[in-house]
Amino acid sequence: MKKEMLKNRKKIRDKKIAFILVMFFMIVIIFCKVKRKSDTIVEHEVKDREEKAENENFVEIAKPKKEITDWRLVLVNQDHILPSDFEIELAHVDKNREFDARAIGELKQMMQDMQNAGITNVWVQSAYRSVERQEEIFTHKVNEYIAQGKTQEEAENLTSQKINKPGTSDHNLGLAVDFNYVDYSFDETLGFSWLAENAEDYGFVLRYAKEKEAITKVDYEPWHWRYVGKENAVEMNALGFCLEEYVAYLQEKE
């Protein structure tokens, strides 16, 4: 009987030892898994911090914009002012008006072909305009707004929507023409329709289109046409670009 009891006690002790060993090994396994997972998390966190630091310290080198050297595409606007030393050779459109001598032939041919097409009521009302003359026109309009009760700043902002500041007008380049009177009804004439269809063949484009006001920052002017050269005019119209967009397009083009 005593032997039987001792035998049972030994079995119980062996089971306890086996249970303790199993539990010990399970704890060791769990600990290893937890540690491995913790090490992985720490490793990822370190890697993320390193990548973040690299990104913060990384400075992207902007690709330089291509220089546009075509004189026909010189861009002047509120953000691109004509250099003070700008010079131009002019030729007479008529006894009172002048245009860039390099493009006067295309302008005269366009006017002649328009007349040959039976449109005889379109004339060049304004072409080259000196910066000094531009200053006079701009100041006169500003004073008109001030007389209406506008502040100097308000008057200048309103004027800029209709008249370019001195040094920011195509007229100062000698590459722009205004046809007939400054009148929005010009776009209802046969002359405007003819220009819209044919002007690109002579290198001219509508400079300030209605749908491009947000880009050009100038109100729609159906009477104002700019010489850019035939190949440029054709491509601009095909792309649906104003001059600002076209110059930017060429600067990014490979």
211 is catalytic: no
Q: Are 176 and 226 in contact (CB under 8 A)?
A: yes
Closest among 197, 175, 198, 190 to 93, alpha carbons compared: 175
Q: Which residues pair with 91 in a beta bridge?
A: 99
Q: Which of 211, 221, 231, 252 is catalytic?
A: 221
Residue 244: which of 33, 80, 107, 54 has the closest Cα? 80
Contact 225, 194 (CB under 8 A): no
CA distances to 98, 113, 129, 133, 217 from 144, in Å = 28, 39, 21, 17, 21
Among residues 111, 178, 165, the alpha carbon closest in space to that of 139 is found at 165
Residues recognised as catalytic: 221
